[in-house]
Amino acid sequence: MSTERQKWTKPVIIIAIGLAAIWLLRKENIFPSFRDLFATKPVIIDETPILIKEIKSIGQVITATLYDEVVVDSAETTPASEIIRSINTLTPFPILPPSDKQLVLVARGKVLAGTDLNALADSSVRIAKDTVWLSLPASKIIDVIMNPGDVETFEERGMWSARAVTAVKAKAREKMIQHAHDRNILDKAGTKTKTVMEDFLHAAGFKVVVFVE
C-alpha cells in the first residue's frame, strides 16, 4: 500500500466509525437527529408572574359580613359619689342616690371579613399546563362599619367628653369583632374566597384549581 493511500485510509476509517456510532445512538434515541439540532425550539413563557399580578389587582375581597347590635357601657367614680357611698354605708339602706358617672350606648354595625390578595406571595402560585396550585393569604377582619347614626345613648349620667364617648364606641367595635370571631366569620370568609378565586381561575382558562393550605 502506497504512502499516499495509507494517508487517506486512516481518516476514512475514523469517520466511518464515528458515523456508525452516531447511527447506533440515534437508534436508541440517545443522540438527537441533525434535524432536531437545527430545528427552532418553542419559546416557553412562564405565565406565573402574570397570573400573580392579575390576582393582586383584585385587591381586597369581602366574602363575609356580620350585622350586629351590642350594648356597651362605661362608669366613672367622682369625688361626690365617694362621699355619697360613705354616707349610705352608715345607714341600714341607701338614703342618697348614687352619683357615679355612667354612659350606656347601643351600637349597630357590620363586620366585614375577607382576604387581602395584595398579600399574595410569589411562591403562592404554581402553574402546570391547565392546572394551577394556589395558596391564599389567611382571611382576616377587614373593616367594621359603624356610622354615627347607628349609635344611640341608652343612659347617660354626668358629663362625658367627646374623647370618653369615642372610647366607649371603640369598645362597641371590639365587641362586634369578638362576636364575629365567635361565629367563625374567618372560616366562612376563607371558604367563600376559595369559591370566588376558583371561578376567576376557571374563567382565566385553568381547568383544575388546587388550593394549598
What angle separates helix 185-203 from helix 162-182, to the nearest 10 degrees? Answer: 70
CA angle 101, 104, 108 (to 5 degrees): 155
Query: With contact defined as beta carbons under 8 Å apart, do 182 and 141 qualify?
Result: no
% of the chain residues with pLDDT over 90 = 48
How many whole angstroms separate alpha carbon 103 and alpha carbon 154? 8
pLDDT in tens, 111-143: 999 999 999 988 889 999 899 999 999 999 999
The pLDDT-based confidence of 51 (bands split at 50, 70, 90) is confident
| Cα-only R_g, the chain | 38
3 state DSSP class of 213: coil
Q: Express each pLDDT in 23-38 by its tens digit.
A: 555 555 554 554 554 4
Alpha-carbon distance 63 to 189, whole Å? 5
- Which of 17, 71, 91, 87 is CA-nearest to residue 179? 71
**Helix, coil or strand: residue 127:** strand
pLDDT of residue 49: 82
**111 near 65, Cβ under 8 Å?**
yes
Q: Torsion angle, CA of 85/91/92/93, rounded to 10 degrees? A: -40
For 63-112, the pLDDT digits (tens) are 999 999 999 998 776 665 555 556 556 666 565 455 567 899 999 999 99
Per-residue DSSP letter, 91: S
**Hey, what long-range contacts does 3-10 have (CB within 8 A, 24 or more apart)?**
none
Nearest to 117 by CA among 62, 159, 171, 167: 62
Cβ-count burial of 18 within 10 angstroms (0-12 exposed, 13-18 middle, 19+ buried)? exposed
